[in-house]
Amino acid sequence: MVGVVWLRRSLREFDNTSIVEASKEFDKLVLFYCIDKDYFDEADLGYPRVRFWHDSLKELKKSLEEDGKKLIIRHGKPVEELGSILEETGGEKVFVNQDYSPYFRKLVKDVENSLGVDVECVKDSVMFEKEEITTNKGTPYKVYTYFMKKWFERSKRKPEKPEEYSTLENLDSDRIPSLSQLGFEKPDEMGWEWEAGRKTGLNLLEDFMEKIGSYHTGRDKPFVEATSKLSPHLKFGTVSIREAFWRAEEFRKKDGRVDEGVKTWQEELAWRDFYFQVLWNWPETVEKAFLEDFRGIEWEHNLDFFDRWRKGETGYPFIDAGMRQLRKTGWMHNRLRMAVTSFAAKDLFLDWREVHRFFSEKFVDAELSSMLGGIQWAYSIGTDAQPYFRIFNPVSQGEKHDPDGKFVKRFVPELKNVPKKYIHQPWKMPEKVQKESNCIIGSDYPEPIVEHSEQREKALELFKSCKD
């Protein structure tokens, strides 16, 4: 008897629920991974995410081989290749970790309808899924705070090791294609600084424990290394959410002084679950605003605005620093994610779907549910969103969260000599100061793309008209 484990985004063996559950039923397993070239051609993917996936998959294959197990790689359509695997092995059942995107839901239906095989989708990427946490009326939550309260109250599964199993060895396996074969090359502007794979993910988790106690105060300071940088590892499952949650719990029990930092970080894990359940229960939010009142907004398609925003040339230093951090590293500090998205929404009125496509290509940790949730939150069109009348000021955001301009000067070197007094409003520098700073506004660094106070009034009028 043979069980087939269809691996997709959980690139680890330990605490991989599909492997754990399969090993309880079968002694012989096929660990199968399908690389669909068409998906890479058609999806909104970019070099950072593809490289992290690529490096993590290679590490998983190597670690399994070192343990005497084989990962079967096939190139082609998932349904067709899975059918071939079942035919070659006599596999009786398919195990796969649940995903919550419309793409995956359709894919599983296609497998079941085409192959007539029992597919068991098991919960792995989240603590709680679908409609496990609901209101007292049994409906999915639209408000995070109430969801979070129940999330913390519920008992949580601990990491689990698979039972003993062996893999079939007599199956053909394709090579993992190179990034260039998949059509991805590293952008010239990018300095790659991510180490993928499980070993690095576990090391990051341990390193973060040393600073988790101050996470609640340091997480809003982009010039401080206060965050875990675990998001791409959670995205690709090199570290499980259970490992992350329970390691923090262990650390908290050892040192009660870190309690507030641990709780704040675990709340971010709850946010992640919240957005997954939103995507599952409201899959239309991939293309439509969650709040129906705002689905009729006609967003602008100003190519000049979009180009300057994506390049980090808006004339607002805090915004530009965030966008340049993304282009250079494939990642952006969460405070900046909120600020630059709010700026795109309520200063430039860019279509949120275009913003989502751009972010999907640029972020190493791009997660459909969280990305959609975060963008719609900042745009005030999503579930539990920022109220439309609360509009981030791109100047005061910088002054509050980067008061000395350390972060700005790191990513916007044109401003490195600008005095602290003007670092977040360089256009206010007198001509003499501009010359002394080697930063002529309009030449070395752009003038503001828009006047924030004017755009703020336009945004308020736009959203209010929809509400009315």
> Are 248 and 331 part of one and the same domain?
no
Which one, of 271, 270, 226, 280, lies nearest residue 245 by Cα? 270
How high is the pLDDT of residue 47?
Answer: 96
How high is the pLDDT of residue 284?
Answer: 97
Cα separation, 141 vs 385, whole angstroms: 13
**166 occurs within a structural domain:** no
How high is the pLDDT of residue 348?
Answer: 98
How high is the pLDDT of residue 114?
Answer: 95
Looking at the structure of the chain, the number of domains it has is 3
**92 occurs within a structural domain:** yes
Mean pLDDT score of the chain: 96
Which one, of 311, 302, 390, lies nearest residue 349 by Cα? 302
Mean pLDDT to the nearest integer, 30-49: 93
How high is the pLDDT of residue 385?
Answer: 87
> Are 26 and 114 part of one and the same domain?
yes
User: Where does a domain end: 227, 257, 281?
Assistant: 281
CA angle 352, 357, 363 (to 5 degrees): 110
**165 occurs within a structural domain:** no
Mean pLDDT to the nearest integer, 135-155: 97
Cβ(352)–Cβ(376) below 8 Å: yes
Percent residues over pLDDT 90 in the chain:
95
Instruction: Say whether pLDDT at 41 is over 90.
Output: no
> Are 233 and 380 part of one and the same domain?
no
pLDDT in tens, 89-115: 999 999 999 999 999 999 999 999 999
Instruction: Say whether pLDDT at 120 is over 90.
Output: yes
User: Where does a domain end: 220, 252, 281?
Assistant: 281
pLDDT in tens, 217-243: 999 999 999 999 999 999 999 999 999
pLDDT in tens, 353-400: 999 999 999 999 999 999 999 999 999 999 998 899 999 999 999 999
User: Where does a domain end: 249, 281, 313?
Assistant: 281
Cα separation, 401 vs 337, whole angstroms: 13
> Are 344 and 449 part of one and the same domain?
yes
CATH number where 56 lies: 3.40.50.620
**181 occurs within a structural domain:** no
> Are 441 and 301 part of one and the same domain?
yes
**25 occurs within a structural domain:** yes
Instruction: Say whether pLDDT at 169 is over 90.
Output: no
> Are 69 and 153 part of one and the same domain?
no
CATH number where 380 lies: 1.10.579.10
Of 116 and 30, the structure prediction assigns the larger pLDDT to: 30
pLDDT in tens, 280-296: 999 999 999 999 999 99
pLDDT in tens, 249-268: 999 998 888 899 999 999 99
> Are 318 and 458 part of one and the same domain?
yes
> Are 135 and 252 part of one and the same domain?
yes
Which one, of 193, 199, 227, 190, lies nearest residue 212 by Cα? 227
**185 occurs within a structural domain:** no
Instruction: Say whether pLDDT at 48 is over 90.
Output: yes
Q: Taking every pair of C-alpha atoms in the chain, what is the biggest distance, in angstroms? A: 81
How high is the pLDDT of residue 256?
Answer: 80
Distance of CA 6 to the CA centre of its chain: 22
Instruction: Say whether pLDDT at 468 is over 80.
Output: no
> Are 209 and 300 part of one and the same domain?
no
How high is the pLDDT of residue 185?
Answer: 95
Which one, of 216, 224, 173, 201, lies nearest residue 35 by Cα? 173
CATH number where 273 lies: 1.25.40.80
Owning domain of residue 143? 125-158+197-281
The Cβ of residue 401 has, within 10 Å, a number of other Cβ atoms equal to 17
pLDDT in tens, 56-65: 999 999 999 9
> Are 88 and 138 part of one and the same domain?
no
**150 occurs within a structural domain:** yes
**188 occurs within a structural domain:** no
> Are 372 and 325 part of one and the same domain?
yes
> Are 314 and 450 part of one and the same domain?
yes
Mean pLDDT to the nearest integer, 244-251: 96
How high is the pLDDT of residue 12?
Answer: 98
